[in-house]
Amino acid sequence: MIENYTSKDNINQWSLVDGQPRCIADAIPATDPSAATALHRNGVVRSLYDEANTLARAISVREPTNGEPETIIVDGDDTPQPNPAFALAPREIDGEPNPAWTPWDEAQATVSAATDTAQAVLRARAGEPAEGDAELIAGALIVVSSDLLDKMKAAKKAAVIQLAANAFAAGYTVDGTDMGGQVLQVRDNEDRTNWLTSQAAYSAAVASGNGASLGAAFRTIGNETFNLSFAEGLQVLLGMAAWGAAIMARSWVLKDQIAAAQSVDALDAIDVTAGWP
């Protein structure tokens, strides 16, 4: 009944409403950083729902009887009267435990061991919640083991790494000079090494008094070639360096926030998609 995935492979997010499971979101992409949290909470909902159902079945088990009806109708009176022939089944037969009592005993053990949360779910289901039940159930839905929290952190950290990679892969958009608005490729370490080498060369040219001379060559993602002065070229590459540093700084901040999160709610509150340059 509680399905994790939609027909389009998005994630369903389930909760408990009035003691019954209800899908509260059905379009969380499987690649979304919150997907791991949604799947974990679905597991908690499923476990709590199953626990409440087990308790409900245990409560419904009745003591075994001798087979006689508990009440009878006496002639001339339509009101049911206690049946004097009715009795519970004997606890023992020929000195041995009566197996008819086994289901009852097992059910009573289940009832005795039931958690406060499972009992709260059943009261909510019956429309008779006690004070504090809503908070008890809500708290159960956000409980997470440290192992699972670590896995969620790892998934969110991986999303940060991917977002940083995507930012670099999109390239650096030049601001100013005749190349304003053009995009330079910064896809991998080879690209970055080449730009750093060019930056060092252009910086040396400027330092030697040749900043106004042409010679700073650039090839854009659109395969257009630009020949700027060394000073202009250095300006472009310094801008690129600042842009790259901002990407890395945002990545480090998010990773630190993820590492410091002590709960699912704290982890969910970290928006890994915001703040990128």
Domain ranges of the chain: 11-140, 146-268
Encode burial over 99-117: b for 16+ CB neighbours within 10 A, e otherwise.
ebbeebeebeebeeebeeb
pLDDT of 2 > 90? The answer is no
Q: What is the pTM of this model?
A: 0.53
Q: Are strands 225-229 and 214-219 parallel, antiparallel or unpaired?
A: antiparallel
pLDDT of 114 > 70? The answer is yes
Among 242-246, 247-251, 264-268, whose mean pLDDT is lowest? 264-268
CA–CA dist 47, 217 (Å, integer): 63
Confidence of residue 87 (pLDDT cuts 50, 70, 90): very high
CA–CA dist 201, 193 (Å, integer): 12
pLDDT for position 144:
57
pLDDT of 145 > 70? The answer is no
pLDDT of 31 > 80? The answer is no
Number of neighbouring beta carbons within 10 Å of residue 238: 13
The answer to whether 13 and 41 have CB atoms below 8 angstroms apart is yes
Looking at per-residue confidence, does 176 or 230 come out higher?
Answer: 230
CA–CA dist 168, 163 (Å, integer): 9
Tell me the percentage of the chain whose pLDDT exceeds 70: 97
Average pLDDT of the residues in 195-224: 93
Confidence of residue 187 (pLDDT cuts 50, 70, 90): confident
The answer to whether 62 and 111 have CB atoms below 8 angstroms apart is no
